[in-house]
Amino acid sequence: MALFKSSTQAVPEVACVPRHIAMIMDGNGRWAKKRFLPRVAGHKQGVETLREMVKACDELGVEFLTLFAFSSENWRRPQEEVSFLMGLFLTVLEREVNKLDKKGIRLKLIGRRDRFAPEIVRMIEAAEARTAANTGLTLTIAADYGGRWDVLQATQALLRARPDFATGTVDEDALTPYLAMSYAPEPDLFVRTGGEARISNFLLWQLAYTELYFTDVFWPDFDRAQLQIAIDSYRQRERRFGRTSEQLKESAC
C-alpha cells in the first residue's frame, strides 16, 4: 500500500509551506562562463547553493527537498565534466554526511546505481544507512535519474513481485509503492533555475499536480531570498486539483 495518496486519486491537504519542494539546479555552466571560469567552477559554486537550500528548507519546515543532480542523459556531457561531477559527489558525500546526520536530516538517493563507480555506490549506501532513522528534513538527491526510467523500473518491479498483474489491470495503488520516491508525498512546488522552462525527464509521474516555478536566476546565484519569492508565488496559486474555484475553501496563507 502506498504511504501517500496520489493527487489523481484524492485531493491532498495543501499547506502554506510546501511539504515537498523539487528543484532542477540549472545554470551552473552559464554562471561560470559569465565570469570567464571553467564550467566546473559553476558546479563547485552550485554546491554552496545546495547547502544553503538544505539549511533554509530545514528551517522553514519543509519536510522533503529533492534535487536533480545528474540526469540519465547527463552522461552525454564531455568526459572531463562527467568525471568532475562524479568526484564532486564523492567529496560532498564524504564531507557533508556527518553534518547532515547531526542536523537530523535523512539522506536518500534515487536513480540507477549500476553505472556509478563501486566506491560511489558504497558511499551512497553508507550515507543512507547512517541517516535512515533521522526524522528531520528528507533530502533526496536524484542522480542518474530519469522520470521514464522510474516508471519503467516500477512497472518491472511490480510485475516481478506480482506476476498475476501481467494479465490483470494495474492501477495507481499497485504501481506507486514501486516508484523511486514512494516514501514521499508528491512535490507541492517545483523550482527550475537557469531560465529554461521544461521538466527535463525529472519526476514525470510525481509532478502531475505540482505547482511549477521557473526563474532566470542561475543556480549558483539562487539564495534564500529567491527561495522565498518562489514560495510566495506558490502561495498565490489556487491548487484546484481538477475542481472549480467555487469548490475551494478560503486559503489561510
Stretch that binds ligand FPP, among 39-47, 57-65, 182-190, 198-206 (CB under 6 A): 39-47
Considering the rule CB under 6 A, would residue 54 count as an interface residue with ligand FPP? no
- Member of 46, 111, 147, 185 binding ligand FPP (CB under 6 A): 46
Strand partners, 189: 21, 211
User: What's the rounded Cα separation, in Å, for the pair 148 and 253?
Assistant: 35
Task: Tell me: is residue 122 an annotated ligand-binding position.
Answer: no
- Member of 14, 21, 23, 50 binding ligand FPP (CB under 6 A): 50
Min dist. Cβ of residue 133 to ligand FPP (A): 22
Min dist. Cβ of residue 31 to ligand FPP (A): 7
- Member of 7, 21, 23, 89 binding ligand FPP (CB under 6 A): 89
- Member of 60, 92, 121, 199 binding ligand FPP (CB under 6 A): 92
Q: x/- contact string, 192-231, with ligand FPP (CB under 6 A)?
A: --x-------------------------------------
In a 13 Å sphere around the CA of 21, the CA atoms on its Cβ side amount to: 27
Stretch that binds ligand FPP, among 19-27, 158-166, 183-191, 200-208 (CB under 6 A): 19-27
Considering the rule CB under 6 A, would residue 43 count as an interface residue with ligand FPP? yes
Task: Tell me: is residue 28 an annotated ligand-binding position.
Answer: yes
Q: 131, 173, 169: which is closest to 10 by C-alpha?
A: 173
- Member of 26, 144, 150, 211 binding ligand FPP (CB under 6 A): 26
Considering the rule CB under 6 A, would residue 116 count as an interface residue with ligand FPP? no
Nearest residue (CB) to ligand FPP, 46 versus 147: 46
Asked if residue 107 lies in contact with residue 182, where contact means CB atoms within 8 angstroms, the answer is no
Q: C-alpha cell of 93?
A: 558525500
Stretch that binds ligand FPP, among 85-93, 148-156, 184-192, 207-215 (CB under 6 A): 85-93
Min dist. Cβ of residue 147 to ligand FPP (A): 16
Residues within the interface to ligand FPP (CB under 6 A)? 25-30, 43, 46-47, 50, 69, 74, 88-89, 92, 141, 194
